[in-house]
Structure 1
Amino acid sequence: MKILDILGAGDINSAISECKALDSFDFKKFFGTCGLSKKSMEDLRKVFAILDQDGSGSIDKTELKLFLQYFSTDARVLSDKEAQSMLSAADNDGDGKIGFEEFQRLVHF
C-alpha cells in the first residue's frame, strides 16, 4: 500500500510545497492540504501503517523525521524541532511515541 493509493498526488504535492523551507512544517495545515484530515478511520489506519515503518504499532521520532518522505520521496527530512513539535502535540501518554489513537487525534487536531 502506498500513500498515493489513499491521497491524491496533487494534494500531496501542494502540501509538500507549503513546507519546503526548513522549520516551516505545520502538521495541522499539512493534514488539511493533503486531505488526510477528511479521510475515514480505515484510511487513517492505512496511512499510520505506512508511517510506522518498523511495524512497532507506534511512530517514533526517527520515523517522524522522515514523515514528509513517506508522502513524497523527494521531500525534505523534518528538523528535530519540527519532529519534536509534532510528537509533543500528539504524545498524550508521554511514552515518546505516537500510537494510532494519538495519530488520529493529531490528524483531526
Structure 2
Amino acid sequence: MAMNDILKAEDIKKALDAFKAADTFDHKKFFEMVGLKNKSTDDVKKAFLALDVDNSGFIEEEELKFVLKGFSTDGRDLTDKETKAFLQAADKDGDGKIGMEEFAALVLE
C-alpha cells in the first residue's frame, strides 16, 4: 500500500518540503502536517506496514533513516541524530526498534 492511498499527495509534499534541511525533522509536526495524526488507528497501522520495508513487524533503525522516502521517493534521508531521536521517542520498550503499537502511540499522541 502506498502512502498516497492513505494521505493526500499535497499534504505529503508540503510536509517533506518543511523538513528538507538536515536536522530539522520533528516527528510530531511531520505526522500532523501529512495528516496522519488525524487518521484512524487502522490507517496509521497501514502507514506502519508501508514503512516496514523488510516486513519484520518492526521499523528498525536502518529503516527509520529512510522513513521520509516511505512517504515519497523525493523524501530525504534522516541524519543519524534525527534517526536516533525518532527511535528514542517511539521505542517505549527499549528493544531498539519500533513495533506497530509503539508507532501508532507515537503518531496519535
* TM-score, scaled to structure 2: 0.97
- Give how far 1:42 is off: 1.1
Deviating beyond 2 angstroms after TM superposition, the runs of 4 or more aligned structure 1 residues are: none
1:78: Cα distance to partner? 0.4
How big is the shift at 1:41?
A: 1.2
3-state SS in 2 of match to 1:77 = coil
Please report how far the alpha carbon of residue 104 of structure 1 lies from its aligned counterpart in structure 2 after TM superposition: 0.8
Per-residue Cα deviation, 1:62-103 (whole angstroms, up to 9, x for no partner): 110000001110111000110110100011111000001110
2:48 is matched with 48
Q: Note the residue ranges of structure 2 that are not aligned, 5 or more in a row.
A: none
1:4 corresponds in structure 2 to 4
Segments of 5+ residues of structure 1 without an aligned counterpart are: none
Q: How many residues align?
A: 109
Is 1:33 the equivalent of 2:33? yes
Return the letter of the residue paired with 1:48. Answer: F
Over aligned residues, Cα RMSD in angstroms?
0.7
Identity of aligned residues (%): 54
- Aligned twin of 2:17: 17
Rounded Cα–Cα distance in structure 1 between residues aligned with 2:108 and 2:6 = 17
Separation in 2, partners of 1:89, 1:42: 21
What TM-score comes out, normalization by structure 1 length?
Answer: 0.97
Q: 2:61 aligns to what?
A: 61
Paired with 2:76 and 2:54, the residues of 1 have a C-alpha distance of 20
Distance 1:87 1:106 in 2: 10
